[in-house]
């Protein structure tokens, strides 16, 4: 029987996608502009960390049960 | 498994096979559309057709996944310029997905047309700050000429970028939305069962899709008419 997915899994996939975006954004901006600033580096690191947590949250929404 | 237990698109749950098949295809469609648009230097984007198909058929958040996959994956081919605009793709997916699936905006051709206009406005509102704050107001897209014209007319850079983005997006989202409608019509009817989409399936819906694309193309012609000619090199 074909497995099915519901709105919860869809939302989880969307959350994971936004997390991936948060992780990839610093790399994109770094390639686009010349940012040697220390504050920019800290912000980029925080964005990657934030993205990891968002991806974990998305994965958790796949696993969680009511 | 009996016929009664076959999962239907009308229920909240959809077969995983639909997701596995449509999500990568949608992302690939976005990349191909964007690449063709860049190659032909068209005053559109065409990088949200797959997003619209998946958001309408599977749901808004699956569409958001397709949008991010398309823009981040496309960065391997076209460079990192597209990555910040993944947010625009996500917003488009949410408006198309919730619009058709929750608010019945796909019930008639007129409502679907209005939905595409709303998508254009929302995506422009998100794209304009990205263009201004990340790229300084110009991304190398053909709409930059229109932005410069608006800025020269005395508008602030953000307002000029938003205005030019709305004009370009209007044509782009109308074309993308109605092309998505044609693609959905070409897919097995089982996939779109329960969705309220304009017109009957088959020729009727295809005619509506073609009319929508023609309206979008007419808007592009209008855009090319009002865009100031590029200065000689």
Q: What is the mean pLDDT of chain A?
A: 86
Sign, CA torsion A59/A62/B1/B4: negative
- Residue B228: the pLDDT is 60
| CA distance, residue A9 to nearest chain B CA (Å) | 9
Whether residue A13 and residue B12 make contact (CB cut-off 8 A), yes or no, is no
pLDDT at res. B140: 81
Per-residue model confidence (pLDDT) at position B117: 95
pLDDT tier for residue A1 given thresholds of 50, 70 and 90: low
- Mean pLDDT on B76-98: 91
CB contact under 8 A, A2 and B17: yes
How many Å apart are CA B62 and CA A9, to the nearest integer?
A: 9
Per CB-CB distance under 8 Å, the chain B contacts of A14 are: 60-62, 64-65, 90
What is the rounded average pLDDT of the residues B211-217? 87
What count of other Cβ atoms lies within 10 Å of the Cβ of residue B127?
Answer: 25
Confidence of residue B232 (pLDDT cuts 50, 70, 90): low
Report CA-CA distances (Å) from B17 to A2, A3, A19, B142.
7, 8, 24, 39
Res B11 pLDDT > 60: no
Res B4: pLDDT: 43
Confidence of residue B231 (pLDDT cuts 50, 70, 90): low
Could A4 and B67 be called an inter-chain contact, meaning their C-beta atoms sit closer than 8 Å?
Answer: no
């Amino acid at each position: 029987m074909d497995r099915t997915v519901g709105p919860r899994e869809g939302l989880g996939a969307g959350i994971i996608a936004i997390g991936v975006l948060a992780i990839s954004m610093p790399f994109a901006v770094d390639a686009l502009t010349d940012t040697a600033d220390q504050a920019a580096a800290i912000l980029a690191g925080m964005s990657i960390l934030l993205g990891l947590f968002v991806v974990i949250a998305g994965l958790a929404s796949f696993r969680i049960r009511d | 498994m009996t016929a009664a237990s076959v999962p239907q698109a009308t229920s909240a749950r959809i077969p995983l096979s639909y997701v596995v098949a449509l999500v990568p295809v949608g992302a690939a469609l976005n990349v191909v559309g964007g690449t063709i648009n860049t190659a032909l230097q068209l005053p559109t984007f065409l990088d949200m057709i797959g997003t619209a198909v998946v958001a309408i058929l599977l749901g808004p958040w699956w569409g958001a996944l397709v949008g991010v996959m398309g823009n981040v994956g496309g960065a391997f081919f076209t460079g990192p310029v597209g990555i910040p605009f993944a947010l625009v793709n996500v917003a488009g997916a949410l408006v198309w997905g919730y619009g058709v699936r929750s608010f019945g905006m796909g019930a008639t051709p007129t409502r679907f047309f209005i939905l595409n206009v709303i998508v254009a406005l929302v995506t422009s509102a998100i794209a304009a700050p990205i263009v201004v704050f990340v790229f300084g107001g110009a991304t190398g897209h053909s709409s930059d000429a229109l932005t410069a014209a608006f800025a020269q007319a005395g508008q602030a850079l953000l307002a000029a970028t938003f205005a030019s983005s709305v004009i370009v997006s209007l044509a782009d989202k109308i074309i993308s939305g109605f092309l998505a409608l044609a693609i959905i019509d070409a897919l097995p009817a089982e996939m779109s069962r329960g969705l309220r989409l304009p017109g009957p399936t088959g020729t009727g819906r295809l005619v509506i899709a073609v009319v929508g694309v023609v309206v979008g193309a007419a808007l592009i012609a209008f855009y090319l008419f009002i865009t100031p000619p590029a200065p000689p090199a």
